[in-house]
Chains A and B, each alone.
Chain A
Amino acid sequence: MSARDHAISYPKFLWRAVSMATDGSWLFYTWMLVLTAIALVGANAWAQQTVDGMALTSMSDHVSWGLYIANFTFAVGLAAGGVMMVIPAYLYRDERMHDVVIVGELLAIAALVMALLFVVVDLGRPDRFWHLMPFIGRFHWPISMLTWDVIVLNGYLLINAHICGYLLYTRFIGKKPDPRWYIPFVMVSIVWAISVHTVTAFLYSGLGGRPFWNSALLAPRFLVTAFITGPAFIVLTLRFMRGATRFAVPSGPVATLVGVMRVTVIVNLFMLGAELFTELYSGGSHAAAAEYLWFGLHGANALVPWTWAALLFNVAAAVILLTPALARRYWVLNAACVLAFAGVWIEKGMGLIIPGFIPSTLHEIVEYVPSTTEWRITAGIWAFGLMVYTVLMKVALPIVAGEERLDRRGAPAKPTAPAPAARDEEE
C-alpha cells in the first residue's frame, strides 16, 4: 500500500473505531453510563479541589501524599503487569499467547492513563502542568526521579499505543503486520515495563529521610506485585470475555498466567516476611512505621485492619493458587484473582505510601484517612480507566477476530474467513 492509500484507510480506521466504540447492547450502554456518572462525580470533585485548594483532602504537612499517590503507584504496577502477557508470548515464543497479548497491552494503556491522571489530581497547581514538559518548562532531568517517571510513563504509553495501534490497523486493512515495525517495540516494551515500575519504586526508595521506603527491596517487590495484579486482572478479563461475549480465548493463556501468579504471590509473601523480619527483629525507631502499619503506634491504628486484611487476601490467594483442587474450580480461581488484586491494592497503595509519613521525619504521628473529595476523585479516575479499557477492548477485539475489516463491516464473520480467536455464537 502506498502512503496515499494509508491516507485514506487510516482515517477510515479511526472513524470505524469511533463507531465501534459507541455501538453496543443496552448492557454496554448501561455500563458506560454508570462509569460516566462516576467519572463526572470525580471530575466535579477535582474541579472543586482545584478551586478551593487541597485543603479539601485529608493530606497534611505530615502526610503529604495520600490516596492519589497510593493509587498512582498501584496503577503503574497494573500497567507494568499488563505487559506480563508479552513476555511468554514473545520471549518464550508461546504462540497461544499471541492473540491475547493485546488484552494486556490495552490494560497497560488504560492503567497508564489512570496513573497520569492520579498525578495530575495530586498537583496543587494543575494550571502549571506545562512547567513539567521537557523543552517548554524546566525539566529537572536527570536529577529528579520524578522527571524519569514522566519520561518512562509517557514513553511506555506511546510504545504500547504504537504496538496496539499498528497491530490493529494492519489487521484492519487485511495485511500481515511487518515484524520490523512492532517486534523491536515489543522487546523495548518488556524492558520498559520493568523500568517503569523500577523508576516508580526509586521515587520512594531514593528518599533517605524516610526509612520505611529507603529499602533496596522496594523495586523488586513492586515488580513482583505488578506481576500479580496484571495477570489477575487479565485472567478475570479473559474469563469475562469467555462468559459474556462472543470472543473467547483458549484456556492456554489463562493457565500460563495462573502459573505466573503461583510464583509471584509466593515471592511477594516471602519478600513481605523478609521486610517485616528486618524491621521488627532489630526494632528501634526505624521500625516505628512498620509497627504503626501492623500494630498501631501510641493508639494510632487506622491502617491496622486494612493491612491485616491485605495479608489475609494475599495468603488466601496464594493458598487457592497453589492448591490445584481449588484452582481448578472456576469461581474459586476468580475469587483468588480478586483477592490477590485487592490485597496488592491495599498493600502497595495506602499500605506503602502512608506509613512512609507515619511517624513523620520529626517522629510525630499524624494519621490520615482520605476525605470524601479524595474518594470521589479516585473513584472517578478508576471509572474513567475502566471506560478507556472497555472502549479499547470494544474496538480491538472485533478487529483482532477479523470481523471488522476495511472491506467488511459488522459481526457475522464469513465462514470462509473464520476469526482465529472468536467463538461464533451463532453456530
Chain B
Amino acid sequence: MAEEPTDPTSEPAKEGFDRRTALKVGGATLGAAAFARALAPLTEWTEDLSVDGFLQKHYKELTPEELSAVLRRHEAETERRYGREVTIRDLRPQEGVSFGYALNLSVCIGCRRCAEACHIENNHDRRTQTSYIRVLEMTQGSFDMEHGTAVYDHEAVPAPGKYYMPVQCQQCDNPPCVHVCPVEATWKEEDGIVVVDYDWCIGCRYCEAACPYHARRFNWERPVVPAEEINPNQSYLSNRIRPQGVMEKCHFCLHRTREGRAPACLEACPTGARVFGNLLDPNSDIRWVLENKRVFVLKEDLGTRPRFFYYFG
C-alpha cells in the first residue's frame, strides 16, 4: 500500500538515525498509551472477574470438592450482586430415568401461563421478560409457522380460527446445538436433558444458529432480577442466575424434575395440556400418551429426534 520512497539524504547519518529512533520511540509510546486508554473500560470488567472464575475447569472435569467450592462461590456472588441468599446445588441425573414431555394441541389455549411460570422459576432477566417458551398462534388449516405469530395480543384466547403451539427446547436426541458447540459447553445428560455449562460457554452463539426450534437464548447483558423475585432454589446447570455473554436454554426445570417434581410450566398450565414423565417407566403418563395418542414431533424431517412431543386429543 503506501510504499513511499525513503529520503536518501536522511540515511544513514548517525544523528539523523538517532533523531528518527527517538521519534519512533516517542511515537510508539504515544501509540501504546492511546491503546491503553482505548481499552481502559476493560479494567472495570477485569475487576469483576475472579481468578478462580477465570481458571475454572469444565463442569465434567470438576472433582466433587472443586464443584462444591464453585457452588459456594456462586452463592456468595449472587448474594453480593443481587442481595439474595440462594442455594445452588448440583443435581445428577437419576438412573433409570429418561425424560419426555408431551403437549396436547387440542386443549392449549395460548394463555402464556407456561411462559410466565418459566420466566419466574428460572430467574430470567426482568427487563426483556425472557422465557424459554415461545407460544405460537397458528392459523386453522395451516401447520406452516409462516402463518403463525408469537406476538399476538387478544382480549381473550383462544381467538377464533386460531390454535396454539408453545415451542421450547425439544431436548433432541440428535441435538444440532450440541454438535456445533466448539468447546463442549453444552451436552446431553443421561436423562436426556441438554444442558449448558454457563461457566464454560464462550458465547459464540453457533448453537443458536444451529437450533431449528429457536430454543436457545443469549444473555446479551447481565440479567436483572429484583432480590425479592429471585427463586432461591437453584442449581448449577439450570436456573442459577446466568452470567453475561453466555447461552442458556430450557433444561426441563432439572432442579425440580430431578427431585421428582413436575416442571414449572406444567404446573402453571390451566388446561392440563402438558404431560411430563419418565419414558423408561412403562406405566408413566407420558408413555401412555406416546402409545395411545396421535403424536408427532416438530420438524421431524431434520432428524433431530426431539423428546418433546405434540399431540391432538
A-to-B contact residues, CB < 8 Å: 22-25, 27-28, 31-32, 36, 40-41, 43-44, 47-48, 50-55, 57, 59-62, 64-65, 119, 122-129, 131-132, 137-140, 143-147, 150, 203-204, 206-210, 237, 240-241, 244-247, 285, 288, 356-357, 359-364, 386, 389-390, 393-394, 397, 409-412, 425
Binds A, one of B108-116, B216-224, B271-279: B216-224
**Given A124-B218, A145-B180, A362-B167; 15 other pairs, CB 8 A cutoff:** A25-B7, A53-B245, A59-B220, A124-B204, A124-B244, A127-B49, A138-B183, A140-B182, A140-B184, A208-B212, A240-B1, A362-B136, A394-B3, A411-B11, A425-B5
The one of B45, B204, B220, B247 in contact with A146, judged by C-beta atoms closer than 8 angstroms, is: B204
Query: How would residues 202 to 230 of chain B score, 1 for a CB under 8 Å from any chain A CB and 0 otherwise?
Result: 11111011111110111111100000000
Contact A123 B204 (CB under 8 A): yes
Contact A139 B182 (CB under 8 A): yes
Binds A, one of B32-40, B82-90, B284-292: B32-40
- In the assembled complex, the CB of B153 is this many whole angstroms from the nearest CB of chain A, namely 15
Indicate whether B42 reaches chain A with its CB closer than 8 angstroms.
yes
- In the assembled complex, the CB of B53 is this many whole angstroms from the nearest CB of chain A, namely 9
Q: Which of chain A's residues have a CB closer than 8 A to the CB of B40?
A: 47
Q: Which of chain B's residues have a CB closer than 8 A to the CB of A53?
A: 219-222, 244-245
Task: Using A43-B38, A140-B182, A361-B212 as known contacts, say yes or no to A410 and B218 having CB atoms under 8 A apart.
Answer: no
Contact B3 A44 (CB under 8 A): no
Contact A23 B209 (CB under 8 A): no
Task: Using A27-B2, A244-B2, A285-B146 as known contacts, say yes or no to A207 and B218 having CB atoms under 8 A apart.
Answer: no
Query: How would residues 229 to 253 of chain B score, 1 for a CB under 8 Å from any chain A CB and 0 otherwise?
Result: 0000000000000011111000000
Contact A25 B203 (CB under 8 A): no
- In the assembled complex, the CB of B41 is this many whole angstroms from the nearest CB of chain A, namely 4
Report how far A386 CA is from B2 CA in the complex, Å.
10
Indicate whether B280 reaches chain A with its CB closer than 8 angstroms.
no
CB closest residue in chain A, given B180 = A144
Contact A393 B246 (CB under 8 A): no
Contact B302 A411 (CB under 8 A): no
Report how far A397 CA is from B41 CA in the complex, Å.
38
Q: Which of chain A's residues have a CB closer than 8 A to the CB of B302?
A: 208-209
Contact B202 A123 (CB under 8 A): yes
Indicate whether B200 reaches chain A with its CB closer than 8 angstroms.
yes
Q: Which of chain A's residues have a CB closer than 8 A to the CB of B27?
A: 22
Contact A389 B1 (CB under 8 A): yes
Q: Which of chain B's residues have a CB closer than 8 A to the CB of A43?
A: 35, 38-39
Contact A138 B58 (CB under 8 A): yes
Report how far A363 CA is from B40 CA in the complex, Å.
41
Contact A288 B146 (CB under 8 A): yes
Q: Which of chain A's residues have a CB closer than 8 A to the CB of B211?
A: 209, 361
CB closest residue in chain A, given B130 = A61
Query: How would residues 90 to 116 of chain B score, 1 for a CB under 8 Å from any chain A CB and 0 otherwise?
Result: 000000000000000000000000000
The one of A64, A137, A363, A386 in contact with B218, judged by C-beta atoms closer than 8 angstroms, is: A64
Q: Which of chain A's residues have a CB closer than 8 A to the CB of B6?
A: 23-25, 410-411
Indicate whether B176 reaches chain A with its CB closer than 8 angstroms.
yes
Contact A124 B4 (CB under 8 A): no
B-to-A contact residues, CB < 8 Å: 1-8, 11-12, 20, 24, 27-28, 31, 34-35, 37-42, 44-45, 49, 54, 58, 134, 136, 144-146, 148-150, 167, 176, 179-185, 200-206, 208-214, 216-222, 243-247, 299, 302-304
Q: Which of chain A's residues have a CB closer than 8 A to the CB of B202?
A: 123-126, 128-129, 131-132
Q: Do most interface residues of chain B lie in helix, strand or loop, or is the interface mixed?
A: loop
Contact A132 B1 (CB under 8 A): no
Report how far A123 CA is from B167 CA in the complex, Å.
27
Task: Using A138-B184, A210-B209 as known contacts, say yes or no to A52 and B204 having CB atoms under 8 A apart.
Answer: no
Contact B49 A362 (CB under 8 A): no
Report how far A244 CA is from B303 CA in the complex, Å.
58
Report how far A52 CA is from B218 CA in the complex, Å.
14
The one of A32, A59, A129, A397 in contact with B3, judged by C-beta atoms closer than 8 angstroms, is: A397
The one of B11, B41, B219 in contact with A124, judged by C-beta atoms closer than 8 angstroms, is: B219
Q: Which of chain B's residues have a CB closer than 8 A to the CB of A47?
A: 38-42, 45
Task: Using A51-B45, A361-B214, A364-B149 as known contacts, say yes or no to A393 and B167 having CB atoms under 8 A apart.
Answer: no
Contact A209 B182 (CB under 8 A): no
- In the assembled complex, the CB of B203 is this many whole angstroms from the nearest CB of chain A, namely 2
Task: Using A36-B31, A127-B54 as known contacts, say yes or no to A363 and B146 having CB atoms under 8 A apart.
Answer: yes
Contact A31 B220 (CB under 8 A): no
Report how far A362 CA is from B144 CA in the complex, Å.
9
Q: Which of chain A's residues have a CB closer than 8 A to the CB of B20?
A: 23
CB closest residue in chain A, given B17 = A19
Report how far A364 CA is from B136 CA in the complex, Å.
10
A-B contact pairs, 12 of them (CB 8 A): A25-B4, A43-B39, A47-B40, A53-B219, A62-B214, A65-B209, A119-B204, A124-B201, A132-B182, A209-B210, A209-B213, A364-B149
